[in-house]
Each structure stands twice: as structure tokens, then as C-alpha cells.
Amino acid sequence: MFKVARNFFVLSVFLALVLASCNLPSRSPQTEEPNAIFTQAALTVQAQLNQTPTPAPFNTPTLPPPQPTNTAVTLPTFPPVTNTSVASATPTCDVGQFVKDVTIPDGTTFAPGETFTKTWRIRNAGTCTWSGYSLVFDSGDAMNGASPIAIGTVGPGQEVDISVNLTAPATNGSYRGYWRIRNASGVFIPILGGTQGRSFFVDIKVGVSSSGYDFYTRASSAVWTSGAGNLTFGGPDTDDKGFAMYKDNQKLEDGTTTTKILETHPQFVDNGFISGRFSSYTVVQGERFTAKIGFLALADGTCGAGNVKFQLNYREGGGPITSLGEWTKTCDGIMKSIDVDLTSLKGKTVEFILQVSANGSSAQDWAVWVRPQIALP
């Protein structure tokens, strides 16, 4: 109890001292005039304004471009769309059109001198009727074609087949001829689908196909004769009337041995002969007769005293015999090659004749033809 009373006393004294300190006198006057207070405040503000530091330089910022506005744009005025049609080309009076080759496709092969008819189909593609028009050769190879050739009346839109008779040239090769259409006034008309829009052509090849003629193979059916009359092919080789026979694989005067050897020994008399007439053959352009001529070798390897005259003859239609070549041959150890151009006989059907004649004595005239034939080179 005593401690509580003492503590209360001490707390009371402490509070009293605090309150007393708040009321102690100060060095400043206790009161001031109101106007003096306002005046002092104004002076303070004025001093602060006068002491404001100079501001740093100010950089003006770059402003972004102005945003687009909704200002209305004035659109150009277009004329109204109409359904006016485009002007078409003016129709042409005179114009043709190539349709097709009716005969003789391009590149057709003919024999030299062969005749043929070329036909084209042409349409009148203009507006005028063709009357008094003609087919006319223009350039290239005419091939003996007639020009001009009249064309019948052809109305607009109609087609006509135009033909010309031609002859293949005599020499092998490729040939082309260009043709045009000329109107009644002498003016050439254009051709749609034609060469350079003006012409059409015929295109052929001239080539020879030859079956050839093998005298060796046909010798057995040839007609053989001598001064003693008709002979039978095949010998014997001791027949003194002369003989014709095969002697394959026997040695020749040049020491060679070969096949397709046809021996033709003349009649066993001085200046005797032997002749073989072969079946008919039609010669074509470019063919040639080729063979080797000479003698068989004797048992001792020599060719003896042979001395003859070889001949190639022909007969046309039962007419006279005509010579194409003649070669004298003696035993000299050399086989002779012969080559005869038959151009003079192209297109002709003839009988060829092989003949051997003795030059004086016929002893040891073992004359031979090696591979005699007609062929293209």
C-alpha cells in the first residue's frame, strides 16, 4: 500500500513538471500584429521568386505527321459501259485455202521418167465466185507439167480438186514444184495454209529399185550356140563344138580361186566362137554390167596360149544385135575387170548376149566370166 502511494506521488510530480515547462517564457514577443505577419510572408515569397535558377535550354520535339483525315476524294467520271460490238475484218474477195493432198503424198518415190497425176483439194475461202481462174506453175521443178490449167467455176465456200499431169525427172534425187492460182485478171490469189500464204506444192523422190540380173544364175536357161549350132549348157568340157558350164572353185590365171565362174570355150576351130543369149530384162536408170574376164589356170599353174575376144551385146525386140563392149584378152596372169554403163538402155527391155571369139587358134581358150551381173553401183 505504501509502495502504491509512493509511485502515484512520483508520477504526479513528473506530470506537474512537464506542464510547467510548456508555460515558460520565450525570447520572441508573445504576440505580433497581423499585418506584420502578412508583410513578412509576401517578402519571403518575393525573395524565393528572385532566386529561381535559369532553366536549361528546351529542345522542341519533332511532332509526328498528321494522321490522315476522312476528307472525301473526288473520283473521275467514266463513260457508261455499252455492248457495242468490235468491228470485224473486211471480207476478202479472192482468197483460197489449202485443204489436203488428194494424191501423191509428200516424199512419194518414183522411177526416173515415170508419169503421175498430182491432185490438191482447194477451198474458195473468199466472197467472190471463181470463174476464169487457172492453176499456174510458180517455181521449183515443173516436172513437165502443163501451165496454165483452167479451173472450173467455184462458189464461195466450195471446194475443188485441181490436178496436173507430171513426169518424174530422169536423175535420182528429191524434187519439189510450187503452184499457184491466178484469177481472171491475171492476179495471183493468196492461199491460206499454203507455203508463205500463196502456193502449194508437189514433193517427190526419184529412186531406182533394181532387181538386178545375175548372168551366172541364168546361164543354164540361156540359149547357147556356136558355129556348130545349138549347144547344151553344162558341157562336157571336151566337146569340140564348144561348151558353156560352171567351173566354181577352180584356180584362175591370177592364182585366185573363187565362185560363180562361168566358162565359155569357143568351138574348137580357128576363129571359132560361142554365144549365149539370155532372157529379156528391162534396164532401169543407173544400172551397170560388171564382171571379171580371163582364163582358167592349167594344171601347171600357167594359163597356156589363150587369146580371145570377149563381147557384151544386146538385142531389142528381135532386132539386130548391137555391141555394148568388146575386150581382147590373152593369158598374162591378170584377170581384167569390166564395167559397162547401161544408161543408154534405161527403160528398155532387151536380150543380153555374152560372146567369146577365138583370135586365130582356139587351142587353150579356157575363157571365163567371173560373177557377170547387172546391178546398181
Domains contained in the chain, CATH given:
96-206 (2.60.40.10), 213-375 (2.60.120.200)
Lowest-confidence pick of 78-82, 168-172, 225-229: 78-82
**Would you state the pLDDT for residue 347?**
86
- Per-residue pLDDT reduced to its tens digit, 4-57: 444 555 445 454 444 344 444 444 434 444 444 343 443 443 444 344 444 444
Task: Please give the biggest Cα pair distance in the chain.
Answer: 204
pTM over 0.75: no
**Would you state the pLDDT for residue 261?**
98
Residues 153, 141: contact at Cβ < 8 Å?
no
- Per-residue pLDDT reduced to its tens digit, 285-333: 789 999 999 999 988 888 889 999 999 999 999 899 999 999 999 999 9
Q: Does residue 258 register a pLDDT over 80?
A: yes
Rounded CA gap, 223 and 239, in Å?
17
Q: Does residue 172 register a pLDDT over 70?
A: yes
Residues 354, 275: contact at Cβ < 8 Å?
yes
Kindly indicate the confidence band of residue 90, based on its pLDDT and cuts at 50, 70 and 90: low
**Would you state the pLDDT for residue 280?**
96
**Would you state the pLDDT for residue 12?**
54
Percent above pLDDT 70 for the chain: 76
Burial per residue of 162-177, b for 16 or more beta-carbon CB atoms within 10 angstroms, e otherwise? bebebebbeeeeebeb
